[in-house]
Amino acid sequence: MPGSEFELDQKLPVGILGATGIVGQRMAALLEGHPWFELKVVGASNASVGKRYGNVKWRIDNPSFVPDAASRLEVVSCDLENFQNCAWVFSALDSSVAQEIEPRFQQAVIPIFTNSSAFRMDPTVPLIVPTANGLDFVKLLRTDPKGLLVANSNCTTSGIAVVLAAFVKAGLELDAVTIHSLQAVSGAGVSPGLSVMDIHDNVVPYISEEEPKIEEEIRKILGFDDLKVSASCNRVMVTDGHTVNLAVKFKSTLNKSLLVTKSKKALTDYSVGIKQLPTMPKTAIFLFDETTNDRPQPKLDRMREGGMCTSVGRLRECPVMDIKLTLLLHNTILGAAGSALLNAELAFSEGMIKA
Amino acid sequence: MPGSEFELDQKLPVGILGATGIVGQRMAALLEGHPWFELKVVGASNASVGKRYGNVKWRIDNPSFVPDAASRLEVVSCDLENFQNCAWVFSALDSSVAQEIEPRFQQAVIPIFTNSSAFRMDPTVPLIVPTANGLDFVKLLRTDPKGLLVANSNCTTSGIAVVLAAFVKAGLELDAVTIHSLQAVSGAGVSPGLSVMDIHDNVVPYISEEEPKIEEEIRKILGFDDLKVSASCNRVMVTDGHTVNLAVKFKSTLNKSLLVTKSKKALTDYSVGIKQLPTMPKTAIFLFDETTNDRPQPKLDRMREGGMCTSVGRLRECPVMDIKLTLLLHNTILGAAGSALLNAELAFSEGMIKA
Amino acid sequence: MPGSEFELDQKLPVGILGATGIVGQRMAALLEGHPWFELKVVGASNASVGKRYGNVKWRIDNPSFVPDAASRLEVVSCDLENFQNCAWVFSALDSSVAQEIEPRFQQAVIPIFTNSSAFRMDPTVPLIVPTANGLDFVKLLRTDPKGLLVANSNCTTSGIAVVLAAFVKAGLELDAVTIHSLQAVSGAGVSPGLSVMDIHDNVVPYISEEEPKIEEEIRKILGFDDLKVSASCNRVMVTDGHTVNLAVKFKSTLNKSLLVTKSKKALTDYSVGIKQLPTMPKTAIFLFDETTNDRPQPKLDRMREGGMCTSVGRLRECPVMDIKLTLLLHNTILGAAGSALLNAELAFSEGMIKA
Amino acid sequence: MPGSEFELDQKLPVGILGATGIVGQRMAALLEGHPWFELKVVGASNASVGKRYGNVKWRIDNPSFVPDAASRLEVVSCDLENFQNCAWVFSALDSSVAQEIEPRFQQAVIPIFTNSSAFRMDPTVPLIVPTANGLDFVKLLRTDPKGLLVANSNCTTSGIAVVLAAFVKAGLELDAVTIHSLQAVSGAGVSPGLSVMDIHDNVVPYISEEEPKIEEEIRKILGFDDLKVSASCNRVMVTDGHTVNLAVKFKSTLNKSLLVTKSKKALTDYSVGIKQLPTMPKTAIFLFDETTNDRPQPKLDRMREGGMCTSVGRLRECPVMDIKLTLLLHNTILGAAGSALLNAELAFSEGMIKA
**What is the pLDDT, as a whole number, of residue B353?**
66
Q: What is the pTM of this model?
A: 0.95
- Confidence band of C2 (pLDDT split at 50, 70, 90): very low
Strands (E), C189-281: 228-235, 242-250
Inter-chain CB proximity B202 and A232 less than 8 Å: no
Contact C248, C174 (CB under 8 A): yes
Nearest C-alpha neighbor of C302 from the set C329, C336, C325 = C329
CATH superfamily of C156-330: Dihydrodipicolinate Reductase; domain 2 (3.30.360.10)
Q: What is the rounded CA–CA span in Å between residue B166 and residue B244?
A: 16
- Chain C residue with Cα closest to A238: C200
Please list every residue in chain D whose beta carbon sits closer than 8 Å to the beta carbon of residue C176: 319-320
Model confidence at C353: pLDDT above 70:
no
B58 touching C, CB under 8 A?
yes
Q: Is D155 marked active-site? A: yes
pLDDT in tens, B21-55: 999 999 999 999 999 999 999 999 999 999 999 99
Please list every residue in chain D whose beta carbon sits closer than 8 Å to the beta carbon of residue B198: 190, 196
B327 touching A, CB under 8 A?
no
Model confidence at A166: pLDDT above 60:
yes
Residue of B34, B86, B233, B242 with catalytic role: B242
Coil, strand or helix at D332: coil
Q: What is the rounded CA–CA span in Å between residue C105 and residue C148?
A: 10
**What is the pLDDT, as a whole number, of residue D93?**
96
pLDDT in tens, C94-123: 999 999 999 999 999 899 999 999 999 999
Inter-chain CB proximity D61 and A299 less than 8 Å: yes
**What is the pLDDT, as a whole number, of residue B141?**
87
Nearest C-alpha neighbor of C22 from the set C77, C79, C50, C62 = C62
Angle at alpha carbon of residue B38, lines to B33 and B40, rounded to 5°: 130
Which has more pLDDT, A353 or A210?
A210
D212 touching C, CB under 8 A?
no
Q: What is the rounded CA–CA span in Å between residue A270 and residue A170?
A: 8
Q: Lowest-pLDDT range, A32-36, A256-260, B167-171, D5-9?
A: D5-9
Q: What is the rounded CA–CA span in Å between residue A54 and residue A73?
A: 8
Can you give the C-alpha Rg of chain D in angstroms?
A: 20
Please list every residue in chain D whose beta carbon sits closer than 8 Å to the beta carbon of residue A299: 61, 64
**Å between D188 CA and nearest CA of chain C:** 15
B201 touching C, CB under 8 A?
yes
Q: What is the rounded CA–CA span in Å between residue A220 and residue A124?
A: 12
Please list every residue in chain D whose beta carbon sits closer than 8 Å to the beta carbon of residue A184: none
Coil, strand or helix at A230: strand
Please list every residue in chain A whose beta carbon sits closer than 8 Å to the beta carbon of residue D303: 63-65
B182 touching A, CB under 8 A?
yes
**What is the pLDDT, as a whole number, of residue A65?**
82
- Confidence band of A348 (pLDDT split at 50, 70, 90): very high
What residues does each domain of chain D span? 12-153+336-349, 155-330
DSSP codes joined into one string, C72-134: TSBEE-S-GGGGTT-SEEEE---HHHHHHHHHHHHHTT--EEE--STTTT-TTS-B--HHHHH
Q: Name, in order, each residue with C-beta under 8 angstroms of D252's C-beta and a sequence gap of 6 or more.
A: D172, D173, D259, D322
Please list every residue in chain A whose beta carbon sits closer than 8 Å to the beta carbon of residue C201: 61, 239
Q: What is the rounded CA–CA span in Å between residue D71 and residue D52?
A: 7
**CATH for the stretch B155-330:** 3.30.360.10
**What is the pLDDT, as a whole number, of residue C64?**
79
The pLDDT of B93-121, averaged and rounded, is 95
Q: What is the rounded CA–CA span in Å between residue D283 and residue D167?
A: 15
pLDDT in tens, B258-298: 999 999 999 999 999 998 899 999 999 999 998 899 999 99
**What is the pLDDT, as a whole number, of residue D1?**
35
- Confidence band of B61 (pLDDT split at 50, 70, 90): confident
Q: What is the rounded CA–CA span in Å between residue D301 and residue D329?
A: 8
The pLDDT of D182-196, averaged and rounded, is 89
Inter-chain CB proximity D293 and C206 less than 8 Å: yes
- Confidence band of C242 (pLDDT split at 50, 70, 90): very high
Q: What is the rounded CA–CA span in Å between residue D20 and residue D92?
A: 9
pLDDT in tens, B130-147: 999 999 999 998 887 666
On whether the D12-153+336-349 domain is CATH 3.40.50.10490, my answer is no
**What is the pLDDT, as a whole number, of residue D146?**
66
Q: What is the rounded CA–CA span in Å between residue B208 and residue B78?
A: 26
Angle at alpha carbon of residue D90, lines to D85 and D96, rounded to 5°: 115
- Chain A residue with Cα closest to B313: A205
Mutate to test the interface with C, among B58, B59, B61, B200 (most CBs of C within 10 A): B61
Which of A64, A299, A303 faces D300 most closely, judged by CB atoms? A64
**What is the pLDDT, as a whole number, of residue A189?**
83
pLDDT in tens, C295-317: 999 999 999 999 999 999 999 99
- Confidence band of C332 (pLDDT split at 50, 70, 90): very high
Please list every residue in chain C whose beta carbon sits closer than 8 Å to the beta carbon of residue D236: 182, 203, 236-237
Model confidence at C248: pLDDT above 80:
yes
- Confidence band of C8 (pLDDT split at 50, 70, 90): low
Please list every residue in chain B whose beta carbon sits closer than 8 Å to the beta carbon of residue A247: 178, 230, 232
**Å between B76 CA and nearest CA of chain A:** 34
For residue A328, the cross-strand partners are A243, A311
Report percent pLDDT > 70 for chain C. Answer: 96
- Confidence band of B352 (pLDDT split at 50, 70, 90): confident
The pLDDT of D14-29, averaged and rounded, is 96
Model confidence at C339: pLDDT above 90:
yes
Mutate to test the interface with D, among A61, A68, A186 (most CBs of D within 10 A): A61
Strands (E), D218-307: 228-235, 242-250, 285-287
- Chain B residue with Cα closest to D22: B197
**Å between B297 CA and nearest CA of chain C:** 11
Model confidence at C190: pLDDT above 90:
no
**What is the pLDDT, as a whole number, of residue A350?**
87
Q: Name, in order, each residue with C-beta under 8 angstroms of A304's C-beta and a sequence gap of 6 or more.
A: A281, A286, A311, D65
C61 touching B, CB under 8 A?
yes
Burial-class residue B146 by CB neighbours within 10 Å (0-12, 13-18, 19+).
exposed
Report percent pLDDT > 90 for chain D. Answer: 86
What is the rounded average pLDDT for all residues in chain B? 93
ipTM value: 0.95
Model confidence at D247: pLDDT above 60:
yes
> DSSP 3-state helix, strand, coil percentages of chain B (rounded to 5)?
35, 20, 45
pLDDT in tens, D158-178: 999 999 999 999 999 999 999
pLDDT in tens, A291-329: 899 999 999 999 999 999 999 999 999 999 999 999 999
Q: What is the rounded CA–CA span in Å between residue C281 and residue C309?
A: 6
**What is the pLDDT, as a whole number, of residue D344?**
96
**What is the pLDDT, as a whole number, of residue A312?**
98
Nearest C-alpha neighbor of B341 from the set B37, B85, B125, B119 = B37
Model confidence at A354: pLDDT above 80:
no
Which of B64, B201, B302 faces C299 most closely, judged by CB atoms? B64
Contact B296, A205 (CB under 8 A): yes
C17 touching D, CB under 8 A?
no
- Chain C residue with Cα closest to A201: C239
**Å between D301 CA and nearest CA of chain A:** 7
The pLDDT of B323-329, averaged and rounded, is 98
A330 touching D, CB under 8 A?
no
Contact C16, C322 (CB under 8 A): no
pLDDT in tens, B275-285: 889 999 999 99
Model confidence at B314: pLDDT above 50:
yes
The pLDDT of D117-130, averaged and rounded, is 96
User: Is cis: bond before C63, omega within 30 of 0?
Assistant: yes
Model confidence at C5: pLDDT above 90:
no
